[in-house]
Chains A and B, each alone.
Chain A
Amino acid sequence: MIGSNERPLTKNIDPSRGALDMDGYERAGGYLGAKKISSGMDSSSMLGMVKDSGLKGRGGAGFPTGLKWSFVPQGPDSEVQKYLVVNADEMEPGTFKDRMLMEGDPHLLIEGMIIAAFAIQASKAFIFLRGEYFESERCLVKAISEARDKGYLGDNIFGSDFSFDIVMHTSAGRYICGEETALLNALEGKRANPRAKPPFPQVSGLWGKPTIVNNVETICNLPGIMANGIEWYQSIGSGGDFGTKIFGLSGRVKNPGCWELPLGVTIREVIEEYGGGMQEGYSLKAFLPGGGSTDFLTPEHLDTELTYDAIGKLGSRLATGTMILLDDKTCPVGMIGNLMKFFSHESCGFCTPCRDGLPWVDSIFEDFERGGGTHKDLAILHDHVEYMGPGKTFCALAPGATAPLGSGLKLFKDEFEAHIKNRACPYKH
């Protein structure tokens, strides 16, 4: 193990009991970070602190959070109304980390939102929650009401001149709503199509006002940073990234789940120490390191540190940090096909390569599954990796889909060939 044993995100989470209520959370040291807004800390120094902490967005893109915030126009000439939006539409295949945070310690999220809102001077925030997360909704609604009762939300919170409140929005549930501008459109009651950037939401976001959209986990990092300082935060993690991250495992490991670990932990540690290694009779063939829209890595990469840079250098992405493992008894073609069906269905239908490219890819995988795949089909799949790649589409959905597709076509060339040759899936017949 590297770094410290600090678990700022999950320290209050105990599966044997429900989430801490307001009193319990405060007794555990909660709201100390947020209370700094009434102890003379101004918004720009709070923003500066987040910037200096090196916190990167945990939603997938890994963009420095403080830098993102600094694009919000401030000062007397700026738009008065600003918004904070928490992206809780967790729908990346294989990802279930935000749910754990919201159900396990909802006050942590609320405290983080107060900090973020103060830093960007937003008087109102929305939690855009995945519709299926009923339990998260229940926990959050309860926590928000407790915070309101206590005066931590509403007018002049903590006795400062800062007023702030949170609106809970349960979404209808679309993967595309994880794309921050599509999320904003959905929140406005429009079709969940992404918006053109520029303008970025920091300048013209929700209802045309400056808006910051952050992932749940990103926000949950803030109370710790505020309460314990930058030095403490940067003492956690290695390999150029700071703080902890929730890493998850799904697939045929003995102990699938998710754990808060310092950034920089190796893949092997997560799989072997926390996941308990592969189940008996299964060996690891490959894995997606950060959810469904990342490139496959193989066992030879097991000793790589889980940092944004290190995984990036291998040609994949850390993204949500939730790994999907492929074992030797599961058909990789079937696995990719399953992902393609998901992405195809979740395309918003706005731009051509994604809307019409993915269904074609999906139907080819269906043919492979039935044993009808051909070399012509294989060529079409290869073409689509290029055709739907980064820069060609309106947003990152289709390029995300090409990550497992492109890497899978290379890595599992033999398996694809075997499907064509056998006229059937070799794992089933």
Chain B
Amino acid sequence: MRIIIRFLEEIGSYVLLLKKTFVKPQNIRVFWEHYFRELDDIGLKTTGLISFISFFIGGVVVIQTALNLDNPLIDPSLIGFAAKQSVVLEFAPTLSSVILSGIVGSYIASTIGTMRITEQIDALDVMGVNSANFLILPKILAAVTFYPFLILLSMFLGVFGGWVAGLVTGLVSTPDYIEGIRIGFDPFHFEYSIIKTIVFAFLIATIPSFFGYYVKGGALEVGRASTKAVIWTSVMIVFWNYIITQIMLS
């Protein structure tokens, strides 16, 4: 019972923090400066790793699919089709978001948490700055505007990586692979993935911010908050992935 009450209290605090966050910035010029800084920190700096992972995941999907479809009656273009569907529907938006929750989530929780324990947030508050709005809103906006593009890049690289792997291993020819990609092309799948990504981006920016913002203690607590932030963000991504899929695809 105590755990449930504690959980509900945490949700309440999270909602109240969001309420404090979603107000008009006190200084628009400073807000945009902060936004572009966040675009770099939580956006551009993650592009390399996400691109690398996407490329090789695409390759692995193609190799595994090809090795499991060894029946000569099955059209080889299905390899390309399976790779595209896996990458577009699941690997790019969900797996990349889980990876981002680790990279960006720990970064956000530890930065805000350190600001809390070193009284930098108190300094903002005492100056009259809405610290939640100042620190968290640019992160949310940066994540929800950048990650959809990052995920589109991830999709492209995943499919491209699959083609390269097929070519290198000789498991699938280029015409078959391209034919597979074109089979059952549905723009709605991209819409579904982008909507998922926007929801995940919101979770990636807000949950770690919450854990960092309310941290109490010292370096150990900041570390713990970081770990909790990554765990809860990943859990929430998986949970909302199911909910969105149920709503949009079933």
Q: Do A and B bind each other?
A: no
Could you list which residues of chain A lie within 8 angstroms of chain B, going by C-beta atoms? none
